[in-house]
Amino acid sequence: MTATTAPPISLEPTRSTLQASRTALGALILRDLVVLKKNFGEFVVRTLVQPFLLVFVFLYVFPKIGQGIGGAHSGSRAGESDFATVLVPGVVAISIMFQGIQAVAMPLSTEFGYTREIEDRVQAPCPIWLVAISKVLSAAVQGIIAAVIVFPIAAVIHASGAEAHLHVHWAIVLTLIPLACVAMTSLGLLLGTSFEPRNIGLMFGFVVLPLTFLGGTYYQWTRLSPIQIDGFHWLQTIVLVNPLIYVAEGMRAGLTNGISHMHLYIVYPVLVGFAAVFLTLGLRNFRRRVLL
């Protein structure tokens, strides 16, 4: 009998580091989406509560009791309808922001807490920064779903004669919403890794709330020009550091006709810049917090 020669043992990996990281990233995102599917009802309720209340109060209750915003200047429902047209894109924008921050910052506050649940995630066979990227991308998907859910609600709830005049520009909407979601989830990563779990309430009071009221949700950025000191448009200038203003103005460009808004050649590059800055700082903080 002749001895059979055993095949040589190969020390080469069966797949590259890039392939392994891509597989791990896909698994992490899929895990988050499976959790979202199981808790989809809770997600929908959480997403709709604030936008529904905003639209219900401003576009239904106020006009019904004769206090419709915008109607006093025109003497008719035309002014109220103009305000509705401005408000609906702002409501979609604020939903994207809240979902982006909540879907990343809130879970991180728990995972970085006393139990250190984040250690279970970083044991995945991929770089630490890729775990953070998976959180940003899965939350961005949730932001897109939130925008799709909120838009019909914001468009149909209104008093008679106070409806929004909307016209969807699909090229803008289909490109702006994903970009805005990534920018806002990157902001959520930065906030979630910057605030200690015990101080997460301060994040909403000192960061989220000012972003909301100075983010162009209820008004157009172009209408802020009358607010000035010695010819300097101070408020219109200050709010430019707020990423929400660009999302709201971009949504007005994508959902309306004839409504003044910030130029898109400003909106897109600035949102890309915000996303890059927030993501870079967030990844740095994430790595530091994990290795702490």
Residues 71 and 160: beta-carbon distance below 8 Å: no
Q: What is the pLDDT of residue 259?
A: 85
Rounded Cα distance, 77 and 92, in Å: 23
Which pair of tokens denotes residue 258? 């004839």
Which of 188, 283, 282, 292 has its CA nearest to residue 244? 188
Q: What is the pLDDT of residue 19?
A: 72
Report pTM. Answer: 0.85
Residues 167 and 255: beta-carbon distance below 8 Å: yes
* CB-neighbour burial class of residue 118 (10 A; exposed 0-12, middle 13-18, buried 19+): buried
In order, the DSSP letters of 76-97 are STHHHHHHHHHHHHHHHHHHHH
Rounded Cα distance, 288 and 283, in Å: 9
Q: What is the DSSP letter of 223?
A: G
Tens of each residue's pLDDT in the chain, 292 residues:
555 666 665 556 666 666 767 777 787 788 888 888 888 888 888 888 878 888 888 777 877 776 666 555 545 556 677 888 888 899 899 999 998 888 888 888 877 766 666 666 666 667 788 888 988 999 999 999 988 888 887 677 776 667 778 888 999 999 999 999 999 999 999 998 888 877 777 888 888 889 989 998 888 998 898 888 888 889 999 999 999 999 999 999 999 988 888 999 999 999 999 999 999 999 999 888 887 7
Residues 121 and 89: beta-carbon distance below 8 Å: no
Phi and psi of 187, rounded to 5°? -60, -40
Residues 151 and 243: beta-carbon distance below 8 Å: no
Rounded Cα distance, 156 and 60, in Å: 10
Beta-carbon contacts of 50 under 8 Å, excluding residues fewer than 6 positions away, are: 94, 95, 98
- Please name the amino acid found at residue 86: V
